[in-house]
Every structure is written in structure tokens, then in C-alpha cells.
Amino acid sequence: MSPVLTTRARAKLNLSLHIVGRRDDGYHELESLVAFGSLADHLALEPGRTESLMVRGPFAHIAGQDQDNLVLKAVRQLRQFKPALRSGSLTLTKYLPAQAGLGGGSADAAATLRLLARLNGFSLDDPDILAAARLTGADVPVCLHSKPVMMHGIGDRLGAPLALPKFYAVLVKPPIGMATPEVFRQLGFEKGQRSKRLPHPEMSTVTTDGIIPFLKLLGNDLQGAACALAPVIGECVSALSRQQGYQLARMSGSGSAVFGLFDTDKNAKNAASRLTRLHDTWWVKPTVIG
């Protein structure tokens, strides 16, 4: 019997997210500095002839176990390119909330492709793996290696891996989810419209000591639109900004989760504990981003 293969699907954080414009086909182009947190879903693959998916964990009820789950979609997309693909029984343990801007489903799909690549002896840089990632979802390619990187286009163009310092952070998600298309519609870009925003600055000259001031110069262009739809997102940002050791707070992706960066691990954990006591309906977790 082949051994069970396992991997972690780490939370994706958009440290910045700038909208470049909207293409004629309706898709929005962006520039985003992406990093990954220590919080993660867990995925296991037991090789075999029977292909199935079982989802469990705190957020299993949201993820679903049917053919719409991105885990199974990733398998189907890769099989289009690799008809003899070996697979098996997949077990996904969901610790990350959905509709949060944390890339949970995309990270799960990328984790699936990593396990299938390992089982079948493929490189993660195999063009078929990359094609399957792009077809599965916009954030799946960046989640394949789960390393800090600049993401461009509709998520299909990635820069070289970046060496970022370790960030001590707190993730906060209010008890609502955000549908990405609704947030983009709120943004109001017409087809073919380009942003007047300056290009995203390069990371090449940023020192470790200068990373927080650098991040403060950036932003998430979707945050205002999301807050207009759900003002509680702004409340989460404000709550993080009042905590000891706070350095920066910002929404990730299209929301509804926000992250706060802190100067020490202790201050991040203390902030998480305090926010949990004050807001018992919010999902609050300390994490390390890198």
C-alpha cells in the first residue's frame, strides 16, 4: 500500500493590492505583493483507484464536498493534460474560513496539485501543472509554491520569490463573507478603463527596517469598496489599530478578513486574545506571515 501524502494549504495574504484596470473581456488586472501565513488547511491523499473527497474541520460546512470544490476541480483540470494521472482519496481539513480574501479554496487547489505532482513524479514547474492551476482559479498559481512574490495581471504572472522578513500578525474575519464579483462591481471600473494609480513600487531596494514604512505607502484598492458593502470590515481594521504594538492593518484580497501587523509575537498574541474577548462573533487568530 502506498503511503498517505500530506501537505498544508497556507493562508494567502495580499500585503498590497493595486488595481491596474479592467480588460475588454471584463477581467480586472492587478499588482499585488503576496505573502503566506502559518495558519493553513491540511490536505491528505491516500493513493488508490477510488477517487473521492472528504471535507472535515471547523469550516467543512462552508467548503462543500461536491464537484464544485476546487480540490476536485484541480484534479479534473490536471487530468485534461495528464490522462493517466494517478489519484486517490483526498481528505481536506478546513481551518480557514471561506469568502475571506485568504485564498482558502485556491490554497486547497494548489495543495492538491502539489500532492498529485508528488504522487506522479511531476515537477511543480511542469507546464501542465501551471496550466491546470490557471484554469482552476486566479489565485491558484501563486499558492503553488506559497512563497512571497509579486503577482500581476489576473494572477497569472508571477515575479521571482522575494525575501521578506517575518511578520507577527493577527487575522480577523467578521461573521460575513464577501463575494469577489460584488466587490469588483462596487469598484465601478468600465471595460477597457485603466487606473490612474502609479505603478507598484519595486521591492528591490527595501530593507528589513524599511518594510513597514514601505507597506504603509501601499494599499488595497478593494478595501473601500468592500467597506461600503460591509462597514464591519472597517470596524475590524479600527479595532486592530487600537492594540498595543500595532504597525499596520489592511484588508486581504476582496475581504472580508483583515490582517494587523505587530512589532512582536507577544503583542500579536495579546491583541488576538483581547479582540477575541471583545468580539465573540469575530474569527480571530494570531499568525506568522512570511
Domain hosting residue 70, numbered range = 5-158
Q: Which of 12, 73, 94, 173 is an active site residue? A: 12
End position of a domain, from candidates 158, 177, 206? 158
DSSP codes of every residue in 231-243: THHHHHHHHHHTS
Q: Find cell 480557514 and name the residue.
A: 96
**Cell numbers at 282, concatenated:** 469575530
Q: What would the mean pLDDT of 81-99 be, rounded to a whole number?
A: 97
In the chain, the percentage of residues whose pLDDT exceeds 70 is: 98
Same domain, 152 and 183: no
Q: Is the pLDDT of residue 61 over 90?
A: no
Q: Tell me whether residue 126 is one of the annotated catalytic residues.
A: no
> If we measure between CA atoms, which residue out of 219, 200, 156 comes closest to residue 27?
156
Q: Is the pLDDT of residue 64 over 70?
A: no
Pairing of strands 28-47, 5-14: antiparallel
Same domain, 125 and 180: no
Q: Is the pLDDT of residue 207 over 90?
A: no
Task: Categorize the per-residue pLDDT at 62 as very low, low, confident or very high, splitting at 50, 70 and 90.
Answer: confident
Mean pLDDT of the chain: 95
pLDDT at 204: 73
- Output the CA–CA distances (angstroms, integers) from residue 160 to 17, 145, 234, in the order listed: 17, 11, 33
Q: Tell me whether residue 12 is one of the annotated catalytic residues.
A: yes
Q: What size, in residues, is the chain?
A: 290
**Cell numbers at 217, concatenated:** 505607502
Same domain, 93 and 150: yes
- Contact predicate 111/78, CB 8 Å: no
Q: Find cell 495579546 and name the residue.
A: 270
Same domain, 53 and 22: yes
DSSP-H helix ranges across the chain: 60-63, 70-81, 104-120, 127-136, 140-145, 180-187, 211-216, 223-229, 232-241, 265-278
Express each pLDDT in 250-277 by its tens digit: 999 999 999 999 999 999 999 999 999 9
pLDDT at 237: 98
Domain of residue 97, CATH code: 3.30.230.10
Q: What would the mean pLDDT of 58-67 be, rounded to a whole number?
A: 76
Question: Of the ranges 98-107, 141-150, 153-162, 204-213, which one carries the lowest mean pLDDT score?
Answer: 204-213
Q: What would the mean pLDDT of 110-133 be, rounded to a whole number?
A: 98
Express each pLDDT in 231-240 by its tens digit: 999 999 999 9
The residue among 224 and 201 whose pLDDT is bigger is: 224
Give Cβ neighbours of residue 54 (< 8 Å, ≥ 6 apart).
65, 89, 90, 91, 92
Same domain, 195 and 139: no
Q: What would the mean pLDDT of 129-133 be, rounded to a whole number?
A: 98
- Output the CA–CA distances (angstroms, integers) from residue 172 to 54, 58, 197, 198, 277, in the order listed: 27, 16, 28, 29, 13
pLDDT at 223: 98
Q: Is the pLDDT of residue 68 over 80?
A: no
Q: Which of 41, 108, 139, 221 is an active site residue? A: 139
Distance CA 85, CA 99 (A): 31
**Cell numbers at 259, concatenated:** 490582517
Domain of residue 197, CATH code: 3.30.70.890
pLDDT at 284: 98
Same domain, 95 and 227: no
Sign of CA dihedral 136, 64, 170, 252: positive
The residue among 188 and 290 whose pLDDT is bigger is: 188
Express each pLDDT in 95-104 by its tens digit: 999 999 999 9
Distance CA 29, CA 44 (A): 33
Same domain, 266 and 194: yes
Same domain, 150 and 172: no
